[in-house]
Amino acid sequence: MSAQWEKIQDRADKLSALLSGGAVDPKERHVFQKELSLLTTLLEKHRLVDRVQKKMDEVTRQCADNTDPDMVELYDQEMQELQEELKLVTTELDDIMYPPNPYDKKSIFLEIRSGTGGQEAALFAGDLLTLYSNYALSKGWKATVVSFSETDLGGIRDVVLHIEGKDVYGTLKFESGVHRVQRVPKTETAGRIHTSTATVAVLPEVDEIDVNINPADLRIDVYRAGGAGGQHVNTTDSAVRITHIPTGVVVTCQDERSQHKNKTKALKMLQSRILSAHEEKQQAQMSEARKELIGRGMRAEKVRTYNYPQNRITDHQVDLTLKKLDVIMAGELDEIVDALREHDRLERRKKPFIIA
């Protein structure tokens, strides 16, 4: 056992002895019990990791001593299963020692806005909407367009997608940033490749207990929704616009027929945006203090490049390049998402685990 795990075991033993002694202040008992529970879980997971690693060592030894092709094949299969088990239990251990973002399990509001590039940027924003809608469908999540603004050529100026499901924010939070596309626009007659951009912002859907909003700070306007949605949507004042006066944050919702439902969803979106703005402010302050840029979550950072002529997509956050842009744009985003989540896990492991 390494020095770190010996220290964890020693702390757990001391806490166990302290709690069984009965001379603990009632106010401190709950704190000590919670810490002991955490350390006990850590030790159990660590022992499980050790057992799997020992099994892998044993299989490696047996395979090296065996010349029977059938047995070697069985050992290879067992080794693959053990490697998958080791990856799983190691991830579980890391998530306890180095906890992920507490909002990872939440649903999200995903905003897409066309950037530089005029109509081509708006068309690319529409392509991203299709990408995320298809990906949500493949994961069994529910995706609903909350608000949108179209261009005359069928592109999108801006759109907000509400995606409900398990672990949505933890899966898609790294999509926030500038997405750059390189391709020949439909409006280009000379066949020249243009570079355009769209921005994506992923906001966790938060509860009222996470963000407190004073109703007196809100200005609520109702208006007639535009675009697709049928006669009812276009002839009644069901759309809602909410302005948070202290911050100037504005949200709109027009996907529901009921003004009340639109107001409820708009308030949720407002809470998410205010929380995101608060966290970005904290990150900026930390960045200034350390004299370095905290890129993760900053909307101005270029996160990905989509090169259509070469069917290539590059994620700059993990320096991953894949030659299957067509497949990914159809909604098969898992290979990039998995790489981003693994990178995040490794980054979290660099932080020290503090033992009392």
The confidence band for 273, taking pLDDT boundaries of 50, 70 and 90, is: confident
- Residues in a beta bridge with 260: none
Position 133 scores a pLDDT of: 96
Kindly report, residue by residue over 226-262, the tens digit of the pLDDT. Answer: 654 444 444 566 788 888 888 778 888 887 777 778 8
Q: Is 65 helix (H, G, I), strand (E, B) or coil?
A: coil
What's the rounded Cα separation, in Å, for the pair 276 and 266?
Answer: 15
Highest mean pLDDT of the ranges 63-77, 123-137, 206-220: 123-137
What DSSP assignment string belongs to 75-143? Answer: HHHHHHHHHHHHHHHHHHHHHHHS---TTTTS-EEEEEEE-SSHHHHHHHHHHHHHHHHHHHHHTT-EE
Position 124 scores a pLDDT of: 95
Tokens of 352: 């020290």
Position 327 scores a pLDDT of: 97
Position 25 scores a pLDDT of: 82
Q: Count Cβ neighbours within 10 Å for each residue of 53-84 and write b for 16 or more, e otherwise.
A: eebbeebeeebeeeeeeeeeeebeebeeebee
Position 294 scores a pLDDT of: 31
Tokens of 174: 């790294």
Tell me which residue of 221, 211, 232 sits closest to 275, measured CA to CA: 211
Q: Residue 152: pLDDT above 70?
A: yes
**Mean pLDDT for the stretch of residues 338-356:** 84
Position 230 scores a pLDDT of: 42
Tell me which residue of 187, 127, 188 sits closest to 155, measured CA to CA: 127
Residues 6 or more apart whose CB falls under 8 angstroms from that of 329 comprise 127, 130, 131, 306
Position 123 scores a pLDDT of: 93
The confidence band for 293, taking pLDDT boundaries of 50, 70 and 90, is: very low
What's the rounded Cα separation, in Å, for the pair 102 and 247?
Answer: 24
Question: In this structure, what DSSP letter does residue 233 have?
Answer: H
Into which CATH architecture does domain 108-346 fall? 2-Layer Sandwich (3.30)
Higher pLDDT, 280 or 282: 280
Kindly report, residue by residue over 104-148, the tens digit of the pLDDT. Answer: 989 999 999 999 988 999 999 999 999 999 999 999 999 999 888
Is the pTM higher than 0.75? The answer reads: no
CA distances from 77 to 80, 177, 237 (A): 5, 41, 63
Position 125 scores a pLDDT of: 95
Kindly report, residue by residue over 296-341, the tens digit of the pLDDT. Answer: 333 346 899 999 999 999 999 999 999 999 999 999 999 999 999 9
